[in-house]
Structure 1
Amino acid sequence: MNNTTDYGQEPELAYALVFGSILVIGLPLNAFSLWTLLRHHSLKSPSAIYMVNLAISDLLLVISLPMRVYFYATGTWPLGKEACIGITMLFLDNIRSSAIFITLISMDRLLAVVYPLRSRHLRTVCNTWKAVVLVWLFVGVLNITERVYLSTILKGFDGASCFEFPDHHTHRSPMAYLESALGLTLLAVNIVCTTSVSWTLHKHLSDFARVNSKVNVMLLFVMSLVIFAVCFLPPSIALLFMGRPLTTPYICLASANCCMDPLLYYFSLDAFWKKKEDADLAMEP
C-alpha cells in the first residue's frame, strides 16, 4: 500500500536542483568545518564556540534538505503534515540562529579589535556559553510559537502542498514581522561593527607586521555583510511586506547561507588551521 500523500503539486525540478546543490556543497563544508574547529580550538575561545554553534545550525538545515529535494523532484510528500512542519521549523531555526551567531562573531571581533583590554572580562568562555544558551532558548521559544501558527494555517488546506503555503491565505503573522525586525536589526549591528573595526584598523595601518591579520579580520566582516545582504535581507524585506510564510525563491536564498557561512572561517585561514593559542594571536589586532 502506498502511503504517499499526493498534494497535486507539479514537480519543480529547478527548486530540486537548487536545494540539491546546497545539500551537496553545504554538508561536507560544514561537517569539515565543525571537525576542524573542534579539533584545533576545543571550545576554549569565544570565536570558536560561536563558530561551532553556527556550523551545528547549518548542519541542522542541511539534514532537512533531502526531503525538500524529494518533494520538488516528485511533487509528492510521503510523511504527513507534522513532518512537513518539522522540516520547515529546521529551516526557520537555522535562519534565526545563523543570523544571531554571525552577529555575535562580529561583536566578539569588535570587542577584540576596538576594546582589546577593556573587553577581556566580557570575552570569557563562561559568558560566551551563556550567550549561546540564550540564543538557543530564544530560538526554541519562537519555534513553539511558529509551530502553532503553521499548524493553524495548514489545518484547513488538505489540498495545499508541503512548503507551498496558499497564496490566498489572508491572516498576517505577527511572527513574520518579528522575523523581519530581527533580521534588519542584526544587519544594522553588523554594519556598525564593520564600520567601527574598519576605522580602528585604518588608524593603525602603519603596523605593517600585522597587515595580514587586519586583512583577514576585515574579510570576516565583509563576508558577514555579504551573507546578510544575499541570504537574510531579501527574506526580511519580503516578510515585512507579505506578513506570511516565505515563498520558495526566498527560502532558496536564505538556505544558501549554509554554503556561505564556512567562508567566515576560511577567510581567516591562519586562525582556522592553527591551534587555539596561535589562532587567538592571529585574530587579535
Structure 2
Amino acid sequence: NDCSSTVKMQTNGSSENCVDPNITFKNSLYAATYTVIFIPGLLANSAALWVLCRFISKKNKAVIFMINLAAADLAHVLSLPLRIYYYINHVWPFGSFLCLLCFYLKYLNMYASICFLTCISIQRYYFLLHPFKAKDWKRRYDVAISTAVWIFVGVACSPFPIMRNSGLTNSSNSCFADLEVKKINSSAASVMMVIIAELLGFVGPLIIIVYCTWRTRQSLQKYQTPLENTSEKQRALRMVAMCAAVFFVCFTPYHINFFFYMMVKENVITHCAIRRSTLYTQPFCLSLASLDCCLDPILYFFTTSEFQDQLSRHSSAIIRSRLMSKESGSSIKE
C-alpha cells in the first residue's frame, strides 16, 4: 500500500500526482531490529525483575516504578518472536486477536515506559529536594501510582488497535505496519485526537523530565553539601539524566514523526514532499521506539547502587557454587 501507490492531491490549489516512496525495506528493517532486541531485552529485563523484586528490600527511591518499567518492557519483548516471524515470512497465521494484542502491547509498552520514566524523574528530584519526606514515603503510595498509570495507559492506548481493526479477520494474512489506518470522517477530529495524544503522551512528559534533570543538576552545582549528600545528588542526577537520554533517543523521533504520519494517513497533510519524507522515516522512528527495552536495564544498573551490589553479589555466589560443584566432582572421580 505504501510502496507503489500514486495519490492525487490538491496542493496550493492545483492537483499533482504524488508517488509514495518505495519502503519495501521496512520488513527487513523490522525483522533485524526485533531480532537484535529480543535476546538482550529478554535476558536484561528478566534479570532486572529478578533482582529488583527478590533482593532489594527497600522498595523506595523509584524501585517500584523500575519494577513496573521492567514488566512493561518484558511484555513487549515476549511478543517480538511473533513480529519477527511475520516480517520474515510476510504472512500472519495466528489470527486477528493475537495480531491486535501484539500491536497493542507495542504502544502499551511505549506509553507505560514514558509514564514510569516520568515518575522516576519526579520522585528522584522531589526526594532530593525534600529528603525528610522521603523517609516517610510509603511503599503503597508507589503501588497506587503505578496502578493508576497502568489503568490510564491501558485505556489511552486502546484507540491504536481500534484504528487498525478495520477489515481485519481471522483469515487475514496482514498485521502490524501493513494494517490499514481507519479513516475518520472529520479532519478537525483527527487533528484534535493527535494533538491530545501528543500533549499527554510526549510534550507533557518531555517538559517534566527536562525540568527535573535541569533542577537536579542545578541543585548539585549550586549548594555546598557534605560528601554523602553530594554522592546522593550525583546518583539522583544520573538517574534523571538517564531517563532523559532514553526518552530522547527512543521516543522523541517517533512522536515528531507520529503527528505528521497520522495527518498524512488522514489526508490532512497533502504536501507531497512532507508526505514522502514522513512515510520514509516512519519505519526508522518505530524501530528506535523499541530500543527502550534494551536501554531501560542500563538505567537500573548504573543508577541504583543496591542493584549493582545485589547483582554482583549473587553473580559471585553463582560462580562460586559452580566452581565448588566442579571441584567436588573432580575429587569424586579421583
Normalized against structure 1, the TM-score is what? 0.82
Distance 1:166 1:37, change over 3 A: closer
The answer for the alignment partner of 1:150 in structure 2 is 164
Q: Distance in 1 between matches of 2:162 and 2:179?
A: 17
Q: How does 1:1-285 map to 2 (within 5 A)?
A: 12-42=27-57, 44-118=59-133, 121=136, 123-152=137-166, 154-155=167-168, 161-165=174-178, 170-171=183-184, 172=190, 176-181=194-199, 182-243=201-262, 247-274=282-309
CA contact (8 A) 1:40 1:273 kept: no
Task: Give the aligned residue type for 2:245.
Answer: V
Distance 1:162 1:139, change over 3 A: same
Distance 1:97 1:77, change over 3 A: same
* Cα RMSD for the two superposed structures: 2.8
Distance 1:31 1:232, change over 3 A: same
Higher mean alpha-carbon deviation, 111-120 vs 51-60, is at 111-120
The answer for the alignment partner of 2:11 in structure 1 is none
Displacement of 1:251 in angstroms is 2.0
Q: Distance in 2 between matches of 1:11 and 1:115?
A: 48
Displacement of 1:54 in angstroms is 0.5
Q: Distance in 2 between matches of 1:221 and 1:10?
A: 36
SS in 2 for 1:151: coil
Task: Give the aligned residue type for 1:22.
Answer: I
Higher mean alpha-carbon deviation, 244-253 vs 71-80, is at 244-253
For residues 152-205 of structure 1, give each alpha carbon's deviation from its aligned partner in whole angstroms, at most 9, with x where no partner exists: 3x449x988311246786544865443322212101100111111111111235
Q: Distance in 2 between matches of 1:149 and 1:210?
A: 50
Task: Give the aligned residue type for 1:250.
Answer: C
Q: Distance in 2 between matches of 1:132 and 1:196?
A: 24
SS in 2 for 1:77: coil
CA contact (8 A) 2:68 2:116 kept: yes
Of structures 1 and 2, the one scoring higher in RCO (CA 8 A, sep 6+) is 1
Distance 1:174 1:31, change over 3 A: farther
Task: Give the aligned residue type for 2:242.
Answer: M
Question: May I ask how many residue pairs the two structures share in their alignment?
Answer: 264
Displacement of 1:206 in angstroms is 5.0
CA contact (8 A) 2:210 2:244 kept: yes
Q: Distance in 2 between matches of 1:116 and 1:76?
A: 55
The answer for the alignment partner of 1:282 in structure 2 is none
Displacement of 1:235 in angstroms is 1.3
Displacement of 1:120 in angstroms is 5.1
Unaligned residue ranges in structure 2 (runs of 5+): 1-23, 185-189, 266-278, 311-334
Task: Give the aligned residue type for 1:242.
Answer: Y
Q: Distance in 1 between matches of 2:289 and 2:64?
A: 23
Task: Give the aligned residue type for 1:255.
Answer: S
Task: Give the aligned residue type for 1:90.
Answer: L
SS in 1 for 2:175: coil
Higher mean alpha-carbon deviation, 34-43 vs 133-142, is at 34-43
CA contact (8 A) 1:43 1:49 kept: no
